[in-house]
């Protein structure tokens, strides 16, 4: 009786999810209206604050548009986007993203030129993410709306330009060059919702059907991963073979038939867990401060003053005299070294565990890329913790009670660490290896977990 009840509830839940997917497909006008509303809000939050003066000391987020926009955009919007991607898949990309929406719209009127070979290089999202992250720190994109307009506005202009050149009602920017695309692709792998394609049902379907305009250029028939799917619902019900489904958040990483791509693995370990982690914590790092002071003292002692000059354009390094916030050339060089050098050093350290696990198990199916993707829960926790630091800084300024914060941070970090270790445990069971090799492979995956847990412990509870 209990078994029948569970089956009934599972089918009922599956039916409701299918209806949601079909609703999205059948109500494209509503989705387009939502997209244009987001475009207007996005433009207002990015453009208007750039022309407003610095807020006075007594200003609050509820009575100063510049502070309000900063809090909504960086304190609520972007953390929310990451949480939505982890829980719902790339629904932000498919339904809400203003860059994707505008790029697709302008592509209707574009030249439709053939895509050049260089544009299809799979490494562009990773390179774009690293460059955008580093440049954003150099110009203080989180603190100053002029910098946000430069970075985000430039990204939007590039998306529109690509749409006009190469788009044919497609999202060329989103597929190949978007700086956030690689991060979304990694986080979506552990989303408990996805569009499942029944390949057998697709192939045996004989009736008429309306072709799907898949804006991100996904081969729907062969889709086995949530990484490239934008979760827009356009293909829901296609050939009675595509439906929105619930799944285990571990299922895609554990599915050895699903691709474990090198670009995804490198984005995860060097981008999300490497450079992004360094970007989140360099401002509170005593290591960074000690190195900066030691170098500054050495430069003064030896009368080398060029690197201590702060007469730098604001679009190159942070330069806001009215806020007494001026980066020197030394600041810029150290930020570059800390983010790139420290981020890539950390990423390389994190790769040791997956490489050892792969070597110990000796199973061709369990590649280092597969074990690296097992770090996805840890990466999700890390990026949410990092972005929430901006939220917390705004709430602290407004004297909001945050007594729950340490418990939340510990719980989220623990969930990420345990999720990664569980995935490593499950992957190792696939290998036809002697027990001691399996145990060592599982132990090897502690190597990437331990330093990440240690770094965030330092940031939140020691520094």
Q: DSSP for 290-334?
A: HHHHHHHHHHHHTT--GGG-----TTTS-EEGGGTEE--HHHHHH
Q: Which two tokens stand for residue 241?
A: 């073979």
Are 314 and 296 in contact by the 8 Å Cβ rule? The answer is no
326-346 residue pLDDT tens: 999 999 999 999 999 999 999
Q: What is the rounded distance in angstroms from the CA atom of residue 21 to the CA atom of residue 385?
A: 30
Pairing relation of β-strands 193-197 and 242-246? antiparallel
Read off the pLDDT of each residue in 61-87 and give the average, rounded to a whole number: 94
Return the residue matching tokens 């450079």: 275
Are 104 and 214 in contact by the 8 Å Cβ rule? The answer is no
Q: What is the rounded distance in angstroms from the CA atom of residue 227 to the CA atom of residue 413?
A: 23
371-420 residue pLDDT tens: 999 999 999 999 999 999 999 999 999 999 999 999 999 999 999 999 99
* pTM tops 0.85: yes
What is the structure's pLDDT at 394? 92
Check whether 9 has a pLDDT greater than 50. Answer: no
* CA distance readout (Å), 250 to 35, 242, 337: 31, 21, 35
What is the structure's pLDDT at 14? 67
187-207 residue pLDDT tens: 999 999 999 999 999 999 987
What is the structure's pLDDT at 258? 87
Question: Worst-scoring range by mean pLDDT, 31-40, 101-110, 247-256?
Answer: 101-110
Check whether 312 has a pLDDT greater than 90. Answer: yes
Read off the pLDDT of each residue in 433-453 and give the average, rounded to a whole number: 96
The share of the chain scoring above pLDDT 70, in percent, equals 97
Sort 92 into a burial class: Cβ within 10 Å, 0-12 / 13-18 / 19+. Answer: buried
């Amino acid at each position: 009786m209990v078994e029948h009840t569970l089956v009934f509830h599972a089918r009922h839940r599956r039916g409701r999810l299918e209806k949601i997917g079909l609703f999205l497909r059948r109500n494209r006008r509503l989705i387009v209206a939502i997209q244009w509303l987001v475009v207007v809000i996005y433009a207002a939050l990015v453009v208007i604050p750039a022309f407003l003066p610095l807020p006075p000391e007594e200003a609050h987020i509820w009575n100063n548009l510049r502070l309000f926009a900063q809090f909504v955009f960086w304190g609520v919007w972007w953390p929310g986007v990451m949480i939505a991607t982890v829980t719902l898949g790339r629904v932000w990309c498919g339904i809400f993203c203003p860059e994707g929406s505008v790029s697709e719209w302008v592509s209707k009127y574009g030249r439709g030129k053939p895509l050049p070979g260089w544009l299809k290089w799979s490494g562009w999202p990773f390179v774009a993410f690293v460059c955008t992250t580093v440049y954003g720190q150099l110009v203080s994109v989180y603190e100053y709306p002029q910098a946000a307009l430069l970075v985000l506005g430039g990204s939007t202009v590039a998306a529109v330009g690509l749409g006009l050149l190469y788009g044919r009602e497609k999202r060329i920017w989103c597929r190949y060059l978007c700086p956030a695309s690689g991060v979304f692709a990694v986080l979506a792998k552990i989303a408990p919702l996805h569009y499942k394609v029944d390949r057998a049902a697709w192939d045996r379907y004989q009736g008429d059907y309306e072709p799907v305009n898949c804006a991100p250029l996904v081969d729907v028939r062969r889709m086995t991963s949530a990484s490239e799917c934008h979760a827009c619902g356009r293909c829901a019900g296609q050939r009675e073979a595509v439906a929105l489904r619930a799944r285990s958040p571990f299922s895609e990483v554990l599915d050895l038939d699903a691709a474990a791509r090198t670009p995804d693995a490198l984005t995860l370990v060097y981008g999300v867990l490497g450079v992004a982690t360094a970007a989140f914590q360099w401002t509170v790092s005593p290591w960074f401060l000690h190195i900066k002071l030691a170098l500054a003292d050495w430069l003064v002692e030896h009368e080398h003053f060029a690197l201590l000059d702060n007469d730098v354009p604001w679009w190159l390094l942070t330069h806001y005299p009215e806020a007494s916030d001026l980066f020197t050339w030394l600041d810029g060089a150290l930020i570059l070294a800390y983010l790139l050098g420290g981020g890539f050093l950390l990423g390389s350290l994190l790769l040791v565990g997956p490489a050892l696990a792969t070597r110990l198990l000796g199973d061709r199916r369990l590649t280092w890329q597969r074990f690296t993707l097992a770090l996805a829960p840890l990466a999700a926790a890390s990026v949410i913790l990092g972005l929430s630091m901006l939220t917390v800084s705004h709430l602290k300024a407004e004297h909001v009670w945050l007594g729950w914060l340490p418990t939340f941070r510990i719980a989220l970090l623990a969930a990420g660490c345990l999720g990664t270790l569980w995935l490593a445990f499950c992957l190792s069971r696939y290998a036809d290896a002697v027990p001691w090799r399996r145990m060592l492979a599982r132990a090897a995956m502690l190597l990437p977990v331990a330093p990440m847990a240690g770094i965030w412990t330092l940031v939140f509870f020691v520094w």
